[in-house]
Structure 1
Amino acid sequence: MDSRRTLHALRRSLAQQLSLTLADVACRLPRTVPSRPLTVMGLSFPSPLGIAAGYDRNGRLARRVAALGFGFNEIGSLTADGLAQLEPMSRGEARLGINLTLDARRSAADTCALLRKAWPHADYLVLNLIGPTSAPLLSHAVRLRTLLTALREEHQQLNLEGKRQVPLIAKLRCLPKQVPFLLASMLLDLEFDGLLAAHDPGPPATRERYRAWQDSQQQALACEQIEGLRRFCGPGMALISVGGIQTASHLQARMDAGAELVQVHTALLHQGPWLARHLLR
């Protein structure tokens, strides 16, 4: 079993690197791309479709993905070591998000330092609450609230001192019968700018799971979750949806349900770098 998992991980890593290389080349090719500009969280986006964290983990493509039709690119999830290794971000019209690893083993001071280091590079920041290192925090509500409060206060101070508004959002898992209303309530109390709802259970991604998202009932369930979060959060909090978007109808359905922005990841691996052109038509 371990050897099969290792082989699967190796194949996925190779597929990821190949896809990233193809996207890098495609960014350099002159081609007309669809434009659907919008403003969310006070930021202007060339389109509502973006790339999820984990694809361009280290920012190789960065803001250049606008040349492919993507309105934003979220890099990471990053630790302090990952941030230190980032190269200068390339220019482009796409917005750049930085997804930060929340590690229950780190102190609030260390995590605030991570936020400070990421702030100058980002158009928006994401606190990742679906990674394995953040799992212990979810079972300790008081500790989690204390940490998020410290991070929010640090973030507000950075925006004030830096004289620009870098939105702060949190990434939460959103699975069947597990819509994170309690966590969303905490974000509302702390006046976070947005919530990123992850409808997929996470790695390892398989072809079977990719095909499963072609089921209309599974797509409808994700839309129901977004609708529920929109009703709960109201119009003041931005909603981003990620997980299972493969077609133009999937994208439109998530936006009709209440998501202002939508991210893709696995579909890029399967459909190639011109995915945004097909989804935004």
Structure 2
Amino acid sequence: MLRTALRRLGYTVAGGAAGTAMVYRNDFKQLEFDLASASGPLVRLFDVETSHKIGILAAKMGVFPKETRPDPACLRTTVWGREFPNPLGVAAGFDKDAEVIEPLLALGFGFVEVGSITPLPQPGNPKPRAFRLPEHGAVINRYGFNSEGAYAARNRLAAFRQKQAAAASGSFPAGLLGVNLGKNKLSEDAAADYSTGVTKLAPFADYLVINISSPNTPGLRSLQGRKELETLVKSVKQTRDGMKWAGPLGPPPLLVKIAPDLTSDDMEDIAAVALAQGIDGLIVSNTTITRPGPIGEDPVGKETGGLSGKPLFQMATEVLRQMYTLTGGKLPIIGVGGVSSGEDAYAKIRAGASLVELYSAFAYEGPKLVPRVKRELAELLERDGFSSVAEAVGADHRVAAAVLAK
């Protein structure tokens, strides 16, 4: 039985009983990642939210494998003066309450973005509120910022940083930490909520995110309007800049996460505010309320909420491409939406992303996705003659400009 399972994973098993047989492939570490992912079909027999809780519990219990193989040198990159071991991160939504940062970094992610974290605890929307579309590699959710609140997150983030600081050199997984901030559903003062998040959580973050693009909190996306965004950013930046910051890097960069469902005018307004107000970067994009292609014909596709996964890839990447153009490539962008391969990550980078996040594909494929995406991305960079991720950022725009210049 073990032999059969190993062969299905692509290994060659030769000689001896199952316990003593020789197993061949690139290395045994990959076997560890593959076996950790093999339980995925069983876990997915449960509903989406229960499966997610099982994944968090597994990470807490040390079931996730630990990556010990070094990343290819070409994947190292520096953004906002901060060094990332690789450009691949976990999008907000997986580790909502900052419970499993270390296990996720140990998997080999270059960074982890926790949240969205609201100032006060809130349960989110009624259940069921998440639905799979496995034949499309997609998920629809309407969680509504379910969060244990900033106080609980602060305690966990402080413990994480203390453990990181106390660890012997090289004994703690490399990688950076992003903190994604949300507002409480019943709050009438969005700026106050985000500023509270900054006050409580910014000291532990390598970067901060103002999430104004979830479709599951009433009125949230209206904050993407020019006037509303300008007012919000001014207030949140004032809070961040009024805090004391030790060390040469200063305060954590402040990013805004936007929706994919934007008009050209919307994007122009966001770009203008971002440049004028000194936003440090953008995350493009959140989930979509549209139902592209066959999704709209699927019974599950009629559920309300945000669609993520493969069907989002083209839409999110096009918005990324336009935002890079509108900002003149001056702002680092984290590309997210539909990434399930190194080719997808590479397309985001060429369109203008300095970093890339994924979530839905990780939920479907498990830990083995992480080394695969990094390996494929490194191969594509080498194929096209790029010695680093940074060299490839926005490459499509340069190619297009060169063609027009002829």
TM range (shorter): 0.7 to 0.9
What are the residue-to-residue correspondences of 1:91-240 with 2, within 5 Å? 91=164, 92-103=173-184, 105-106=188-189, 108-131=191-214, 132-133=217-218, 135=220, 137-138=222-223, 141-158=226-243, 161-163=245-247, 164-175=250-261, 177=263, 180-198=267-285, 200-201=287-288, 213=311, 219-240=313-334
Distance in 2, matches of 1:211 and 1:84, equals 31
In structure 1, the residue matched to 2:346 is 252
- What residue is the counterpart of 2:53 in the other structure? 17
- Tell me the number of residue pairs that the alignment of Structure 1 and Structure 2 aligns: 268
Query: By how many angstroms is 1:125 displaced?
Result: 0.4
Aligned residues of 2:320 and 2:353 also touching (Cα < 8 A): yes
In structure 2, the CA distance between the partners of 1:140 and 1:198, relative to structure 1 (3 Å rule), is closer
TM-score by length of 1: 0.83
Measured against aligned partners, the alpha-carbon deviations of 1:152-199 in whole angstroms (never above 9, x if no partner) come to 1222233x5444231110100023756633122211111011000115
Give the corresponding residue for 1:83: 150
Measure, in 2, the Cα distance between the counterparts of 1:199 and 1:114: 20
Fraction of identical pairs, as percent = 26
TM-score w.r.t. structure 2 length? 0.59
Distance 1:109 1:221 in 2: 32
Shift of 1:228: 1.4
| Equivalent residue, structure 1, for 2:98 | 59
Superposition CA RMSD, Å: 3.0
SS of alignment partner, residue 32 of structure 1 = coil
Maintained 8 Å contact 2:76/2:85: yes
> Using the alignment, how far apart are the partners of 2:195 and 2:341 within structure 1?
38
SS of the equivalent of 2:242 reads helix
- CA 1:202–1:18 in structure 2 vs 1: closer, same or farther (change >3 Å)? farther
Aligned-residue offset at 1:270: 0.2
What corresponds to 1:32 in structure 2?
A: 69
Once residues 110 and 76 of structure 1 are traced to their aligned partners in structure 2, the CA distance between those partners, rounded to angstroms, is 14
Contact 1:247/1:279 (<8 A) preserved? yes
Residue 257 of structure 2 aligns to a residue whose secondary structure is strand
Query: How far is 1:277 from its partner?
Result: 0.3
CA distance in 1, matches of 2:287, 2:193: 29
Residue of 263, 268, 273 corresponding to 2:362? 268
Q: Show CA shifts across 1:173-232 (max 9, x none).
A: 02375663312221111101100011531699998766753xxxx644443322211111
From the superposition, tell whether residues 192 and 269 of structure 1 become closer, same or farther in structure 2 (CA, over 3 Å).
same
Distance in structure 1 (CA, Å) of the matches to 2:227 and 2:152:
33
Q: Which residue number in structure 2 is paired with residue 3 of structure 1?
A: none
Per-residue deviation, residues 102-156 of structure 1 (Å, max 9, x unmatched): 3561263453232111111111100001131552643764344222101112222
Give the conservation status (yes or no) of the 8 Å contact 1:39–1:45. yes
Residue equivalent to 1:4: none
In structure 2, the CA distance between the partners of 1:182 and 1:62, relative to structure 1 (3 Å rule), is same
Aligned counterparts of 2:181 and 2:316: Cα–Cα separation in 1: 24
Q: CA deviation at 1:22?
A: 3.9
- Encode CA deviations 1:33-89: one digit per residue, 9 max, x unaligned: 534211011111111010011101111221442321211101110112312012222
Name which of 56, 65, 86 aligns with 1:47.
86
Q: In structure 2, how many angstroms separate the alpha carbons of the residues matched to 1:242 and 1:226?
A: 9
1:13 maps to a residue whose letter is E
| Cα distance in 1, alignment partners of residues 225 and 197 from structure 2 | 21
- Residue 258 and residue 112 in structure 1: after superposition, are their counterparts in 2 closer, same or farther (change >3 A)? same
**Structure number with larger C-alpha Rg:** 2
Secondary structure at the aligned position of 1:259 is classed as coil
* Paired residues of 1:33 and 1:68 also in contact (CA < 8 A): no
How far apart, CA to CA, are the structure 2 residues paired with 1:235 and 1:211?
26
What is the identity, as a one-letter code, of the residue corresponding to 1:85? A
How far apart are the structure 2 equivalents of 1:166 and 1:20?
27
Whole-angstrom CA distance in 1 between matches of 2:182 and 2:89: 20
The answer to whether the 8 Å contact 2:255/2:282 transfers is yes
Could you tell me whether the CA contact under 8 Å between 1:102 and 1:127 is conserved in 2? no
CA gap of 1:210–1:53, structure 2 versus 1, over 3 A, is: closer
Residues of 2 paired with 1:30 and 1:141: CA distance?
A: 43
